[in-house]
Structure 1
């Protein structure tokens, strides 16, 4: 049953992102920022943690999960003082950031852009 809920919740998040692109006519960057902000706001109110417990990877894999990990790390380390907030942000989100950069470099090394001959 957890797989069904992960699929439905993750699919609903992606469907909402597609709605923002097609119906609201946001650009890709505006849609990404909107979804990250939704994850941040939901974690600020303590709702995203409940969504993760309910849907598992269906809530952590979409881009809203990235916003959640940024804020959740800051909130956890923010208890230690103001200067520890940035450590917490990168503690939870570092894996996503590192793999995004590495994968981008690999793809850029293998493939040529469309306009280049």
Structure 2
């Protein structure tokens, strides 16, 4: 799905985007970090096609999956102890948060993520 979404930004974008959309339900059911990334890319593609409501829905789905995975929680709740993976999860969460806030303001809607329920640390400025 990710590859098709990335390729959808190129020449034959409709063909690749259609292929990626065929895997939408699987991405929702799988509930992985890759699903969150794919839904964020799908939202960007939808915005590129001026499909703002579908972009909003994709970001909402990505947010729910991310919360199910506990990305919004402090790293102590995660099984992963690798600093690189922890940093990637932080960056994914805060990128999703930024996307949610920007899209909410652009569409005149409420932000769905309550910062009071987020305990994950901010990404570091350097990795490694």
Structure with the higher helix share, 1 or 2? 1
Structure-2-length-normalised TM-score: 0.33
Structure-1-length-normalised TM-score: 0.35
